[in-house]
Chains A and B, each alone.
Chain A
Amino acid sequence: MTDTDTTPAREAATPVLSARDLRVWYGSKRGPVAAVDGVTFDVRPGETLGLVGESGCGKSTLGRGVLGLLPPGAAVDGEVRFAGRNLVGMPAKDLQALRGPELGLIFQEPMTRLNPLMKVSDHFEEALRTHNRGLGKAQIRTRALDALRGMGIPASRYDSYPHEFSGGMRQRIMIALALVLRPAFVVADEPTTALDVLVEAQIIQILADLRRNFDTALVLITHNLGIVAEACDRVAVMYAGHIVEQGDAREVFANPQHPYTQELLRSTISLGTTGLHFIPGAPPDLADPPAGCRFHPRCPKAMRVCADEQPPEVLLPTGSRTTCWLPVPDMTTAEGRLPLEAEEIGVADEA
């Protein structure tokens, strides 16, 4: 393993944002659905935390929940500490004032997030005026052009409309819009999903430069594990509303500890793929999650204890945390560690 000398320094820096036991529920006909269920993490200045998992595991809900951007009917509980204040339970007006200058969001689809009737310049004027009332037109222009230049958009395009740009350019504009107010914390929700390989790589490079140059703390939500490996310092793997493994990105990819992380990495089709592997079944219905460890019905290493009791969070010598019974033999009985007789999962029981 490579020596991670930088880790203690990072650990020492005060987190920009800390989530403690965060829960988000949605109301549904079948009762409350806990899309995020007791999640704890920290993001430090200049650090990128990757959030990965299958669709429906709560990644996006977590990203939105942290920023207080949830639909009506959602309930939030727990703590999100940012600049000494708890964002959970904060009056909507105060939170609204923080979003933009302090908390930023980069959306998935740049095509639909820019107003087609507004020029790029109008978008920047609106964003800057809303949060800095005193700013003059010339100052707005200077700041907007600076932000755009950082994203590689020529000043000659400042007065163009969104439809005059390609998808990649629009995503650059979106990122520039999120950053023009220099927020300390940004959530990027699948920022490259709709983009081509080369453009995706360009955007990832931009995000990497961002944390180097501005000390922005970034949560990058993605289902592309290659991107996490490349752009993130740390990674949190989510399954059914829980973070099941969290740690240094290189460490987690080189040495995954949780069976879900292992299976996810194995089933990803990469350039090195020589045979197809997949996780049987689909993520559980969150209105009625399985007892014990939520991954146990699909886990190839499931033991009897996994079906009965929720696994503890274990801090490993590598600094990673994993929520699993496997690394803690002394906390379980010999009988509990017997392999679990798995129920048959049909081929088509899938997401």
Chain B
Amino acid sequence: MPTKPDTAASSAPAADASETLIEVADLQVHFPLRGGLFNRHAGAVKAVDGVSFRLRKGEVLGLVGESGSGKTTLGRTLLGLNKATGGSIRYRGKEIAGLREGELRPLRRNLQMVFQDPHASLNPAMDIATAVGHPLQVHGLVPDAAERRVKVAETLERVGLSPAELFLDKFPSDLSGGQKQRAVMARAIIAGPELLVADEPISMLDMSVRAKILQLFLDLKRDLDLTYVYVTHDLASAKFFCDRIAIMYLGRVVEIGPTAEIFANPRHPYTKALLGAIPDPEKVGVPRNLPRGEIPDAAQPPLGCAFHPRCPVAVAGCGWEARDLAALLDRHWLAAGEDARLTESALFARPAELATAGLRTVSLTPGKGHTAADIVELLGRVREKTRDDAFWRGVTAVEARGERACVDFAEGSDPRLRLVGGTADTVSVACHLVA
């Protein structure tokens, strides 16, 4: 039977807390895009784009964001499952970002992963004893099969699959979702790792099982002195489980700090939006201000701050561009109706002029029978109707220049992650509005 140390002992390693396990600096993971004729290089998806943080031994760091935020890619890259294209990852001072697979393999004993879908992370043709014992075999940790079985049985008991004899010879299809996730956990801890990256480990489970698996994570952390990176989109479980939280948006960390501080005092508008969107049985019928739209395409991210097109409090310097005008017109036409859209869109000869990424000045060709002045006049009317839209804060000029109608946008910049002053807690935020 595994011996469990007293719960009180878990609070002891406070002095140890500053020991750095992993240090990530300016990490980039870019996936090249190929397309068009002859399969040429066509830009890159910046899945992770300049992320830095420090992971202390014994802490639980949450990577929180929507799909497409880069949280899963970041988690996988920490273990070398995706190749970093820039920056560094130091594990106990040793650079692991550029290592080849053969060099990484011995490290995998210490750095393990739990995947989202327990049904897909176990080989359906492999019994539980073989699957869970696989790491022992790969790393040559036990001399023979008999000893491996003993060790597997012991580990199954530890994750709650007890009595182990009942599970050793079962196949994944005989197990429930929660039991499978326990088996996956057993496989992850059997080689004695130090760090576990858990990618949405409870999101596929039934709600009544989630708390049990989260409890198992807590028990294992206490018993085995583990450090976790918890990748999730679920803020409620992150709030309960994590010591620190990094909020991610489109490949960047936009806010990072101690969990209590992030929830009590969210600073980035995106963090505020996420917290405001959580349905809560205890807060019924409170109307909420949701940001419009969805997370944009990472292949062509917005200019400046990536969140500015959805941000309710964006200002002039957030990076407004031509595509934002296209989005504004769509919003206007949604409200104005189909007839207005048909008449008004005829003013634009080439709607594609608004589709190019990164244009700070856009020059519009009037449609047949229309002049640049008509476009300026239309934009004036739209502006009247959408006066409160943050978009207009970034517009510096709307005027006819010769045959064409031009719209100029204020110069914007990409906010970097900066430490927020004045707090004992170390919160960093990437927003122009947070000084």
Count, chain A residues at interface, CB 8 A: 54
In the complex, whether B263 has a CB less than 8 A from a CB of chain A is yes
Q: Is the CB of A273 within 8 A of B273?
A: no
Q: Which B residues lie within 8 Å of A55 (CB)?
A: 206
The answer to the question of B240 belonging to the interface, with a C-beta cut-off of 8 Å to chain A, is: yes
Q: Tell me whether A350 and B212 are in contact in the complex, defined as CB-CB below 8 angstroms, given that A155-B338, A197-B277 are known contacts.
A: yes
Cβ-defined partner of A198 (8 Å) among B234, B239, B274, B282: B274
A121 within 8 A of B: no
In the complex, the chain A residue whose C-beta lies closest to that of B239 is A271
A277 to B278 CA separation, bound complex (whole angstroms): 20
> Within the assembled complex, what's the spacing in Å between the Cα atoms of A66 and B285?
28
Q: Is the C-beta of B66 less than 8 angstroms from some C-beta in chain A? A: yes
A8 vs chain B, min Cβ distance (A): 20
- State whether A347 and B210 are in contact (beta carbons under 8 Å apart), knowing that A224-B279, A253-B284 are contacts in the complex: no
Partner of B284, one of A142, A199, A249, A347: A249
CB of A198 within 8 A of CB of B284, answer: no
For the complex, count residues of B whose C-beta is within 8 A of A. Answer: 54
Q: B274: which A residues are within 8 A, CB to CB? A: 197-198
Closest residue of chain A to B286 (Cβ to Cβ) is A230
Q: Is the pair B207, A350 in contact by a Cβ cutoff of 8 Å?
A: no
- Does B18 sit at the interface, judged by CB under 8 A? no
Whether A271 lies near B233 (C-beta < 8 A) is no
Contacts of A329 in B (CB 8 A): none
Interface residues of B in 150-180 (CB under 8 A from A): 160-162, 167, 176-179
- Contact, CB under 8 Å: A276 / B211: yes
In whole Å, how far is B285's beta carbon from the nearest beta carbon of chain A? 7
B402 within 8 A of A: no
Q: Hey, what's the 0/1 contact readout for B254-290 against A, CB within 8 Å counting as 1?
A: 0000000001000000000110011111111100101
B214, A269: Cβ atoms closer than 8 Å? yes
Report the minimum CB–CB distance from A212 to chain B (whole Å). Answer: 12
Residues of B within 8 A of A347 (CB): 160, 162, 212
Task: State A95–B263 Cα separation when bound (angstroms).
Answer: 50
- In the bound assembly, the distance between CA atoms of A282 and B19 in angstroms comes to 41
Q: Would you call B237 an interface residue if the criterion is a C-beta within 8 Å of the partner chain's C-beta atoms? A: yes
**Nearest residue, chain B, Cβ from A152:** B334
Find chain A residues with CB under 8 A from B160 CB.
347-348
CB distance from B96 to the nearest CB of A (A): 31
Shortest A229–chain B CB gap in Å is 4
Check: A270 CB closer than 8 A to any chain B CB. yes
- CB atoms of A200 and B277 under 8 A apart: yes
Cβ of B337 within 8 Å of any chain A Cβ, yes or no, is yes
Please name all residues of chain A whose beta carbon is closer than 8 Å to the beta carbon of B51 when the two chains form the complex.
none
Residues of chain B within 8 A of A278, CB atoms compared: 208-209, 211-212, 215
Question: Which residues in window 103-158 of A have CB below 8 A to B?
Answer: 142, 145-146, 149, 152, 154-156
Given A145-B338, A204-B279, A230-B284, 13 more A-B residue pairs with CB atoms under 8 Å apart are: A142-B338, A146-B338, A155-B338, A166-B295, A200-B277, A200-B279, A205-B290, A226-B278, A269-B240, A276-B214, A348-B162, A348-B167, A350-B212
Chain A residues with CB under 8 Å of chain B are 54-55, 142, 145-146, 149, 152, 154-156, 166-169, 196-202, 204-205, 223-230, 249-250, 253, 264-265, 267-274, 276-279, 282, 346-348, 350-351
Can you list the 3 inter-chain pairs with the closest CB atoms, starting with the nearest?
A: A226-B279, A196-B66, A201-B277
